[in-house]
Structure 1
Amino acid sequence: MFVIRPAILDDLPTLLKLAKMVHFINLPADKELLAAKIGRSRRSFTGEVEDIRQREFMFVLEDLESGEAVGTCTILCCVSWEGHPHIFLKTGKRSFYSEDLQLGQTHTTLELGTDSSGPSEVGGLILAPGFRGHCDRLGSLLSLIRFHFIGLHRAMFAESILAEMMGPLTPDSGTLLWEYLGRRFINLSYKEADLFSSRSKEFLLALWPKGEIFASLLPPEARALIGKVGDETEPAKRMLEKQGFKYHGHVDPFDGGPYLEVKIDEVGLVKATVSMSAIAGNPAGNSEAFVSHKGRGGFRATRSIYEISGDRIVLAAETLEAIGATDDAMIGFTPLPESKAKPRRSKKS
């Protein structure tokens, strides 16, 4: 069985290995930065972090059989504020027409944009290669459990939420878009710029030119990357789109991957999340739900077969044990879309 739990410092070596497989700002391949993120996350889970700008939740997927962390994901409560904007490239269209030639051209434009409105963000998602395609659908558990958590703690999060999708990378973990665009203005390699942006993004605002840049000036192979995701990111993108996330023409300045966005209260899994009393038993049928409990061991969650009995949810004893709950404990509950049993709603925690 697999459970979702908060990241701890003992997970640092595994998380560092996972981080080196990708180039996520929310999962830096730097031991010091990762340790700091784990510390902030731990304090966020315990309620010690009062400043929403510093509050983030870092989860790991644990294989209970081995005790190893095999994946991770993150929720940031607030990613921008005055003086610390969210930075992106805004895509647009410019059309020109010649009367003499009776010919016209429409060009894609790129312009550095900022947003200080303070959306939340989901990111830092990676599953160890050996567990991808697992029969327990671990990728969807790792990705979607975040909306279960948000549903349980709705007041902690903003009106809208972003998701940064990684653009296609070259075999040496670089990106043609950065080489042909970003590096013309900021003389750092993609890896150097990506890592430095984990500490500060001031250099983007200082060195990137103001105004529109015509993508037509880029080689076709670089231009084709704008707003696209890599093959390994496509399943995660589809999962988020099913939850209502949409692309609004904003892309990452480093790899050109799209930013997706949705109003949190429009996410079905968030709206469906409630708290219910649990009881051990043998649930009939095949209805599934995300279930969680916050006990002495902290937040623990998994996907499980369930059955509704009156105002309680019936779960297998091993499921209750895995999430650290007992009979009559209050648990977080999110029925998954294919579920047929509908719970009686109760007040969210």
Structure 2
Amino acid sequence: MIIIRPIQNSDYESLHRIAVESGHGFTSLPVNEELLRKRISRAEASFTKEVTQPGDEGYLFVMEDTETGTVVGTSGIEAAVGLDDAFYHYHLGKVVHSSRELGIYNTVETLALCNDYTGASEICTLFLSEGHRKNNNGRFLSRFRFLFIAEHTERFSETVIAEMRGVSDEQGRSPFWDWLEEHFFSLDFPTADYLTGIGKKEFIAELMPKYPIYVNLLSDEAQKVINKVHTKTVPALRLLEAEGFARRGYVDIFDGGPTVEASRESIKTVRDSNKCQVIIGDVSDTENYIICNTKVEQFRGVQVSASLRATANQVVISQEAADALQVGEGDWVRLIAN
């Protein structure tokens, strides 16, 4: 069975393999042993921490194939970004240059450096190994986070964001960064991306242009990729848009990829999920559900067939599913049709 659970220290080798597989542009998982081990330790501390409001917690989960014991994917939530390190974006705006006397009216797009998302919760670090990109596993790996948020709202901000990977090639070349590199940084994209991933962000404040950049001054290649996603990121973007996430004009400072946002309570899975008591028995229905227990440190999630008795707030699941969720008869779970 495929389950999702909190990451553990023993998962380091699996996380390192995923970091290597994910390639350039996956800033939240740098191929760096010290940083990866710190990420695991921080997650373990976050899952055991008593929380009344979002702070510096970072929740990292793994998807495990219990038949083989192999970790096949990862997914995370940052409770509140930018509280310790500045959290940068470019905001797309407009400036009008006009002369009534000459009959000239020009609208020019601009990119302004900002920290507008400070304090927002961020869903992040979503990666699934290619061999398991089937059976709705990718959808499961993304959506279960919203069940966790719905069950533990005190741990998360009212605004939830997701940074979508922008356009770059197999060598890690980003057309958007190429222009910035030429004029301001003298630092290639993989290096800049890696430095950010390991927490060395001072160079952004030191070298990034302080004034808005006129988009029409960028190279044609750079202009074309602003607010565009990497081809491999399109399915993830579509899934988030179906959940109610939308673009608000914010893009990544390295590759120009869009950031999408939603209010916590308007996220479809948060809004429409149900909390039900468990009945263990034979499941006659074939409808598939994402089901999670209501715990934090011992959190478990599965996608299985179940029989929902909505009027009684009950759900019938198999013994195998109950064992995977670590729940018994009468315990509560949260679920959503997948």
TM-score of the two chains, using structure 1 as the length reference? 0.88
Q: Return the offset for 1:97.
A: 4.8
Change (3 A) 1:311 1:177: closer
Q: Return the offset for 1:254.
A: 0.6
In 2: Cα distance, 1:313 partner to 1:49 partner = 29
Aligned to 1:46: 48
Percent identity, aligned pairs only, is 32
Amino acid at match of 1:186: F
Q: Return the offset for 1:317.
A: 1.6
Change (3 A) 1:48 1:195: farther
Aligned to 2:293: 293
Q: How does 1:21-170 map to 2 (within 5 A)?
A: 21-22=22-23, 23-47=25-49, 52-81=54-83, 84-97=85-98, 105-115=106-116, 117-132=118-133, 134=134, 136-170=135-169
Q: How does 1:169-188 map to 2 (within 5 A)?
A: 169-188=168-187
Amino acid at match of 2:176: L
8 Å Cα contact 2:79/2:157 also seen in 1: yes
RMSD: 2.3
Aligned to 2:306: 306
Change (3 A) 1:78 1:69: same
Q: Structure 2: 5+ residue runs without aligned partners?
A: none
In 2: Cα distance, 1:261 partner to 1:335 partner = 21
Q: Return the offset for 1:17.
A: 2.1
Deviations 1:8-27 (CA, angstroms, capped at 9, x unpaired): 12222222222222332322
8 Å Cα contact 2:275/2:313 also seen in 1: no
Paired positions, count: 333
Q: Structure 1: 5+ residue runs without aligned partners?
A: 338-349
In 2: Cα distance, 1:274 partner to 1:315 partner = 15
Deviations 1:298-323 (CA, angstroms, capped at 9, x unpaired): 21101122213434210012111222
In 2: Cα distance, 1:197 partner to 1:49 partner = 27
Aligned to 1:18: 18
Range 56-65 or range 211-220, more displaced: 211-220
8 Å Cα contact 2:279/2:315 also seen in 1: yes
In 2: Cα distance, 1:109 partner to 1:176 partner = 17
Q: Return the offset for 1:105.
A: 4.2
Range 23-32 or range 223-232, more displaced: 23-32
Q: How does 1:160-239 map to 2 (within 5 A)?
A: 160-198=159-197, 199-239=199-239
8 Å Cα contact 2:79/2:155 also seen in 1: yes
Change (3 A) 1:182 1:247: farther
In 2: Cα distance, 1:48 partner to 1:155 partner = 10
TM-score of the two chains, using structure 2 as the length reference? 0.91
Aligned to 2:265: 265
In 1: Cα distance, 2:289 partner to 2:192 partner = 41
Deviations 1:145-177 (CA, angstroms, capped at 9, x unpaired): 100100110111011011000001112022111
Change (3 A) 1:51 1:190: farther
Amino acid at match of 1:69: V
Amino acid at match of 1:239: L
8 Å Cα contact 1:70/1:128 also seen in 2: yes
Q: Return the offset for 1:281.
A: 1.3
